[in-house]
Amino acid sequence: MKAPAFTFERAPTLGDAFDLFEAGGGEAIYLAGGHSVVPSLALRLQAPETLIDIAAIPELSGIREEAGMLRIGAMTRHAEILADPLVATHAPLLAMAAPHVAHPAIRNRGTIGGNLCHADPASEFPAVMLALEAEMEIAAPEGHRRVPARDFFVDLYETACAPGEILVALHVPVAGPATRCAFDEISRRRGDYAMIGCAVQITLEAGRIADPRVAFLSVGATPRRVPGCEAVLHDALLSAATIAKAQDALGADLDPMDDPNVPPAMRLHLARVLLGRLLGQLENDHV
Amino acid sequence: MSEQIPLSFTLNGKPVAAFVEPRKSLADFLREDRALTATRLGCEMGTCGACLVMMDGAPAHACLVLAAQAEGAEITTLEGQSEDALMADLQAAFVDRNAAQCGFCTSGMLTTALAYVRQGGTPDRAAIRDALSGNYCRCTGYEAIVDAIAGVAEAAMHKEAAA
Amino acid sequence: MNAEGLRIGARHVGTPLRRENARRHVAGRSRFTTDLTLPQMLHAAFVRSPLAHGRITELDVSEARAAPGVHAVLTAADLADCCTPWRGTLDHFAGMTSVSQRPLAEEEVLWVGHPVAMILAESRAMAEDASELVLLDIEELPAVTDPHAALHPDSPKAALEAEKGNLCFETVLETGAVDQVFAEAAHVVEEEFTFGRHTAVTLEPRAILADFDPSTRRLTVHQGTQTPYQFQDTFARHLGLEQSNVRVISPDVGGSFGMKLHVYHEEMAVAAASVLHGRPVRYVPDRLETFLSDIHARDHRITARMALDAEGHILAMDVHDIAPIGPFSTYPRTSVAEGNQVIRLMGAPYRMPDYRGRLQVVFQNKVQTSQYRAVGHPIACAVTEALVDKAAVALGLDPFAIRAANVIADDAYPARSATGFEFEALSHEECLGKLRDLMGYDALREQQAALRDRGIYRGIGIAPFVEITNPGATFYGIGGARISAQDGAIVKLTPGGQAQVAISITEQGQGTETIIAQIVADELGLDPSQVRVTTGDTETTPSGGATWACRGAGIGGETALRAARKLAAQIRAISGAVLQKDGDTLILSGGAVVSADNPMVAMDLSEVARIAYYRPDTLPAGIDTSLSVAHHFAPSGYPFDFTNGIQASHVEVDPETGIVRLLRHWVVEDCGTIINPLLVDEQIRGGVVQGLGAALFEECLYDESGQLTNGSMADYLVPMPCEMPDIAIAHVETPTKDTILGAKGVGEAGTAAASAAAMNAVNDALLPLGARITQTPMTPLRILRALKTITD
């Protein structure tokens, strides 16, 4: 388990990163925290000619509020997400999910941008981005663009970030006073890839749900929003009856992948159980 | 083999200037190039915790970090913690509670424990187990390790309260 | 000498002495084989079969040979003349068969991971680079991956050369009238069980650094193993070297648990390559390789039934164990011992007049299997105890009551089991009572009932067990295995009056060196800090069996005790000459020799040593001044020293998710004389957690083509801190009278019954839901299927 040989470059700026990528003839990959890239190299799952370290690029760091949006730099470490007061206030769902990401030491070095670009369907933050309707700011030599989370996660380990492009930051609409959210996952051991995970964000006024977003992880090649379930929740009273209907609706929303350890019927069952628990928690908090 | 690149960082409190093959992990650099073998390799993919070192004050998997990524960083291995009073307390507690059997997980366990107690971790057993959730031990069954850390966390709390 | 030193009888055996080795570990100063480097050292990597069964049609290593940093690429032909093949059969397993093995596959590959070629390069990374350049073509042969199908007469063979198809070994143990007992019994309970295949996952992988010096034909092997003497013999015989020229050194070993005493293809290849090339060769499998090459363990399909009378007395068991192994039997201890112990340990705690146990050991194209901590015990215990609990439910008896009615009474020893084991003295009744108090059983039952009303499903499971420890020569030697049943120790008094011990049992973290220091300190009247113990080097310690099957403390401890007594006699004789006292009237205590009848007549050990070493001319002529003694000890009397105990598990099952939470675990254990209670308890805790890992998490999963589908630490679930419970421990002490020390083994006790207790606890929780599970690991999927929540 030793990585194949490659050359290593450090990019002080975005422009340098693009130039280095260009010079590498497309056989280069970017390195942020390295916690997805380095093990994949050790396993020889990929063999790039060049690694371009983008950790020092200034645009990639920092968390700040900008015009009703929380801007989170792509190099932000999971541990910073967990501890940051702005995240806790403006994106509580993200803060709730952070402790579920792997283990403490991984969270010290792993970055949210690297995590999102790795696009592991069992990972927590991609599902959270879907539920938060975040926008991904992608930099390319020709300029920056923003991609909504729903268009960012294209397929298994595949994102809208084209080769050579760099995820610079994510922009999260800040939570309102009536925003309620919940996150949990069911895994066999703490920090494991979850058998199922769910992020819920709703607006709750006088017991009635508005703008429901429900996103699941570990249900297929990408994290999924569940439109049928959300339609049930929209404008409904948060009650046991609503929760049961929302659980039912998941059958049409989800078509989990084949996996001998967690067959599709079990995955769907666990999705229903977890959704019921999270909505029940929101209902209890409300009462 | 790709060309070696220059690397400078602080290792156990002292500046290090070296050349390193880019593909070399920090763990292999520490073990092979600096003979700091307390940093151990159990899985090389970030799942066992045997290779944890302090990187800029927080535990990091030396197997998941390329040596080249340590440029400018402050790295402390178990060998470099011998002057730390809190580490000395943890080491004594591990011996007293027999929390190290074969010893292969011990450096990583102590690194996690040091960060936990330094951050004001409490003697709460569930919280300690959560902090240790990425540290594998095949020998002890974990209870002795939890006991040892809980004892030091308890003492640290009292010290804090008295101060 | 001060007054403190005069206190006679200050004993260290029985005290929780801290381990000096732990001080090295916490300081980061351990020296594992993986830490060692030597000048001119080469690193090995292996090219492995990607298929479970096949025939090599092309193997082209020319490009790899030309790769940067590569010293050599070896194939089977290169090693054919320097390493003879091995075959893992033993005579006492009558009729067993196995194909022989060589370090690298010659033509037929037998499992995914079978080494085919070996790269020797300047670094491990370069060796891995070159391994990608080897061209390997394999014609696929049918893979045998299901044990039932494997036994069908038309099944393809897992190994083409196997003499008896896929049957490695078959045996039946039977008392007189089993069928009649079942036909006439008031109650019969039966069940089918599946026990998963798991593996050791020692945190330090296997590791070897072989260093052959062609100028002297000496081979020095640094190896992470439990059994250096066995490997000294193995390397010498198979590589054609003089045994005296082979030295095996085991420095710190990062966990072993039975996994590091088997012969592996890679280690043989590494030693052979060092001989061939005259350079040190180092090999440390990476974690992916350990899953593909470390022995796997367990794996049983069992049908079992138990007959009881109307009052719930066990009359008989009838068990059929199909035990799938690898494509050949492991060398030199075989892959049969596990199943053999399964069928012999069934019903062991109980008065059970009749028994039939049938074992079929079956080849398949997966990694070889062999002995791992608590060989066979967890399986026999889980089957027996699941049936006892099932019978208790059928008869309306409490789990404690049915066991109290059936265990062999504490005053009924010696006793003999239906499977032929001879028990010297066990303490099941006392352990049962002690456990009930320790766990607060009645309160737990009340809490369980109250919580059930609130939809919380907790369960309590108990499991008594019997453990085989201190085996004699009937274990391996009788079958022709070159595995020592005895151990040896050299104890010396240094010129400064302290002690040094070299002993053939080995240390992997359990505290071997500490307990030997305690034992020797007591015999010589020293403090354990004045006793230095050396282990793990075939050149500097006597030969012996080393550490396995819970023999270190019982056999090794007795060896040290008797050696130290010999030295004590010698010290008394020399000092008696100086003090003009009969040696028999002198006592060794407090670092001195003291007259039993007059404490004022005394001399320090340092003075005895000074005279014996530096001024022997002042001693009476002809006196033997030896201050080093050697002693070997082999167990006699009972073939094994059985231990016993009982465990309890408290769990909560989430019936919606199928997830089991371990709340608490209790153990009452009787390992005879306790040499060091701290170390004994931590051995038990570690063992329990290995058993709980098997119960809930650990399983090597294969697909139908024989691919291991979860061979990494991200996918194979070892027990981690958050999921494991705290474990309370209590003891009963019934020393064996076979030895002076009275100690029996304890290292496997925790593993022996933990999974049985957990399975019974889960089934107790599931009982009101009408579900039952008899397969380990008890995964969420299997629990949801048992609950019929998932029906596909």
At A35-45, the pLDDT tens digits run: 999 999 999 99
Residue C670, pLDDT > 70, answer yes
Q: In this structure, which amino acid lies at residue C599?
A: P
The H or E element that residue C660 is part of is: strand C659-670
Nearest to C253 among B47, B102, B144 (CB): B102
Q: Is there a single domain that holds both residue A148 and residue A69?
A: yes
Q: Provide the pLDDT confidence category of residue C1 given band limits of 50, 70 and 90.
A: very low
Any domain includes A2? no
C-alpha span between C629 and C542 (Å, rounded): 11
The sheet with strand A208-217 has its strands ordered as A179-186, A196-205, A208-217, A224-225
Q: Which domain holds residue A207?
A: 179-286
Residue C41 scores a pLDDT above 70? yes
Indicate the angle between helix axes C677-696 and B143-162, nearest 10 degrees: 110
C473 pLDDT band (50/70/90 cuts)? Answer: confident
The class (CATH top level) of C3-30+486-633 is alpha beta
- The distance from CA A225 to its chain's CA centroid, rounded to whole angstroms, is 12
Q: What is the pLDDT of residue B43?
A: 97
Judgement on whether residues A270 and A202 belong to the same structural domain of the protein: yes
Cβ count near C58 (within 10 Å): 9
Helix (H, G, I), strand (E, B) or coil at A213: strand
Which positions in chain A touch C655 (Cβ < 8 Å)? Answer: none
Judging contacts by C-beta atoms under 8 Å, the chain C residues touching residue A123 are: none
pLDDT digits 0-9 by tens, A223-241: 999 999 999 999 999 999 9
Q: A183 with A162, same domain? A: no
Chains in touch with A (3+ beta-carbon pairs under 8 Å) read B, C
Within a domain: A193:
yes
The helix (run of H) or strand (run of E) holding residue B156 is helix B143-162
CB contacts, 8 Å: C709 with chain A: 260
Instruction: Determine, for residues B100 and C252 on separate chains, whether the beta-carbon distance falls below 8 Å.
Output: no
Distance from CA of C29 to the nearest CA of B (A): 7
Q: How far is A102 from chain B (nearest CA, A)?
A: 8
Render pLDDT for A153-202 as a digit per residue (tens, 0 to 9): 999 999 999 999 999 999 999 999 999 999 999 999 999 999 999 999 99
In the CATH scheme, what is the homologous superfamily, with its name and number, of domain C33-141+201-293? Aldehyde oxidase/xanthine dehydrogenase, a/b hammerhead (3.90.1170.50)
On chain C, the residues whose CB falls within 8 A of the CB of B90 are 26
**What single letter denotes the amino acid at residue C354?**
D
Q: Distance (Å, rounded) from C-alpha A268 to C-alpha C711?
A: 26
Phi and psi at residue C11, in whole multiples of 5°? -100, 145
Q: How confident is the model at residue A33 (pLDDT cuts 50, 70, 90)?
A: very high
C26, C288, C716, best to mutate vs chain B, most B CBs in 10 Å: C26
Q: Buried b / exposed e across C299-323, counting CB within 10 Å, b at 16+?
A: bbbbebbbbbeeebbbbbbbbbbbb
Burial of C425 (0-12, 13-18, 19+ CB in 10 A): buried
> What domains are there in chain B, each with its CATH number?
5-80 (3.10.20.30), 84-162 (1.10.150.120)
Chains that touch B (3 or more CB pairs under 8 A): A, C
- Chain A residue closest in CA terms to B128: A104
pLDDT of residue C156: 98
- Give the per-residue pLDDT at A93: 98
Helix, strand, coil % in chain B, rounded to nearest 5: 40, 15, 40
Q: With a cut of 60, say whether residue B30 has pLDDT above it.
A: yes
Task: Identify which of C35, C713, C724 has the shortest CB distance to residue B43.
Answer: C713
pLDDT of B33-67, one tens digit each? 999 999 999 999 999 999 999 999 999 999 999 99
pLDDT of residue C777: 98
Helices (H), C156-280: 178-184, 228-239, 265-277
Asked if the model's pLDDT at residue A25 lies above 90, the reply is: no
Phi, psi of C667 (to 5 degrees): -135, 130
- The pLDDT assigned to B149 comes to 98
- Same CATH topology for C3-30+486-633 and C33-141+201-293? no
Give the pLDDT score at B160: 84
CB contact under 8 A, A269 and C781: no
Q: C237 falls in which pLDDT band (50, 70, 90)?
A: very high
Per-domain residue ranges for chain C? 3-30+486-633, 33-141+201-293, 376-467+641-786
Residues A186 and A215 in one domain: yes
Closest C-alpha to A194, from A204, A205, A183: A183
CB within 8 Å of C601: residues ≥ 6 apart: C579, C581, C594, C595
* Closest chain B C-alpha to C678 CA, distance in angstroms: 7
- pLDDT at site C4: 37
pLDDT (0 to 100) of residue B1? 52
Which of these, C348, C202, C409, C314, lies nearest to C756 by C-alpha position?
C348
Contact state of C720 with A262 under an 8 Å Cβ cutoff: no
Element of type H or E holding B9: strand B5-11
- pLDDT of A20 above 50: yes
Whether the Cβ atoms of residue A28 and residue A102 lie closer than 8 Å to each other: no
Q: Confidence band (pLDDT; 50, 70, 90) for C472?
A: confident
**CA atoms of C681 and C676, how far apart (whole Å):** 9
Which pLDDT does position C3 carry in this prediction? Answer: 35
At residue A287 the predicted structure's pLDDT band, cuts being 50, 70 and 90, is low
Alpha-carbon torsion (B113, B115, B118, B123), positive or negative: negative
Residues A217 and A203 in one domain: yes
For residue C625, give the nearest of C561, C586, C567, C580 by alpha carbon: C567
* Residue C7: pLDDT over 60: no
Cross-chain Cβ contact C780/A265 below 8 Å:
no
Q: Do B23 and B37 form a contact (C-beta atoms < 8 A)?
A: no
- At the topology level, CATH places domain C376-467+641-786 in Aldehyde Oxidoreductase; domain 4 (3.30.365)
Residue of B nearest to C129 (CA): B1
Q: Which residue of A has its CA nearest to C714?
A: A192
User: Is residue C116 predicted with pLDDT exceeding 60?
Assistant: yes
Closest CB to C717: pick one of A1, A189, A270. A189
Q: How many residues appear in chain C?
A: 792
Report, in angstroms and rounded to the nearest whole number, the Rg of chain A calculated over CA atoms: 19
Q: Of the candidates A3, A8, A105, which has its C-beta nearest B61's C-beta? A: A105
Task: Give the CATH number for residue A42.
Answer: 3.30.43.10
| Same domain for A240 and A218 | yes
Minimal C-alpha gap between C723 and chain A (Å): 7
Collect all residues of chain C within an 8 Å Cβ-Cβ radius of residue A5.
125, 129
**What is the overall mean pLDDT for chain C?**
96
Residue A272 with chain C: CB contacts under 8 Å: none
Residue A1 lies in a domain: no
Q: Taking a C-beta distance cutoff of 8 angstroms, is the pair C71, C120 a contact?
A: yes
The two structure tokens encoding residue C183: 């036909």
Answer yes or no: do C659 and A269 touch at CB < 8 A. Answer: no
Q: Which of C43, C720, C775 to mutate to test the interface with A (most CBs of A within 10 A)?
A: C720
pLDDT of residue C792: 76
Over residues C63-76, the mean pLDDT reads: 98
Q: In degrees, to the nearest 5, what angle opens at C-alpha C407 toward C-alphas C402 and C411?
A: 135
pLDDT at position C218 over 50 = yes
DSSP conformational letter for A174: P
Q: Least CA distance to B111: which residue of chain A?
A: A105
Cβ distance A43 to C288 less than 8 Å, yes or no, reads yes
> What's the gap in Å between the CA of C432 and the closest CA on chain B?
24
Residue C481 has what pLDDT?
92
Residue A113 shares a structural domain with residue A162: yes
A108–B58 CB contact, under 8 Å:
yes
Q: What is the token pair recorded at C112?
A: 């995914």
Q: Kindly state whether residue A153 falls inside one of the protein's structural domains.
A: yes
Strand partners, B9: B16
End of a domain among A140, A173, A206? Answer: A173
The tokens of C85 are what?
A: 């093949």
CA closest to A188 among chain C residues: C659
Contacts of B142 in chain C (CB under 8 A): 689, 721, 724
Ranges of H-type helices in C170-227: 178-184
CATH of residue A264's domain is: 3.30.390.50
Residue A222 lies in a domain: yes
- Residue whose tokens read 């009888």: C9
Please report the pLDDT score of residue C637 as a whole number.
Answer: 86
The structural domain count of chain A equals 3
Tokens of C165: 């198809």
The pLDDT, as a whole number, for residue C6 is 38
Assess if residue A92 is contained within a domain.
Answer: yes
pLDDT tens by residue, C607-632: 999 999 999 999 999 999 999 999 99
Give dist(CA C147, CA C167) in Å, integer: 10
With H, G, I as helix, E, B as strand and everything else as coil, classify residue C429: helix
- Residue A16 inside a domain? The answer is yes
Tell me what the pLDDT averaged over chain A comes to: 96
Span C205-210, mean pLDDT?
98
Q: Same domain for A86 and A20? A: no
Q: Rounded CA gap, C550 and C687, in Å?
A: 12
The candidate with the shortest Cα–Cα distance to C332, out of C274, C249, C264, C247, is C264
Q: Identify the domain boundary among A110, A138, A173.
A: A173
Touching check for C699 and chain A: CB below 8 Å? no
Average of per-residue pLDDT across C93-104: 97
* Mean local confidence (pLDDT), C502-509: 97
Q: Say if A228 falls within a structural domain.
A: yes
Does the CB of A7 have a partner CB in chain B at under 8 Å?
A: yes
- A234 and A135 co-located in one domain: no
Closest residue in A to B51 (Cα–Cα): A105
Which residue in the set B43, B102, B128 is minimally distant from C509, CB to CB? B102
Top residue of B84, B94, B138, B146 to mutate, by most chain C CBs within 10 Å, is B138
Q: Is C430 helix (H, G, I), strand (E, B) or coil?
A: helix
**Domain stop point among A16, A37, A53:** A53
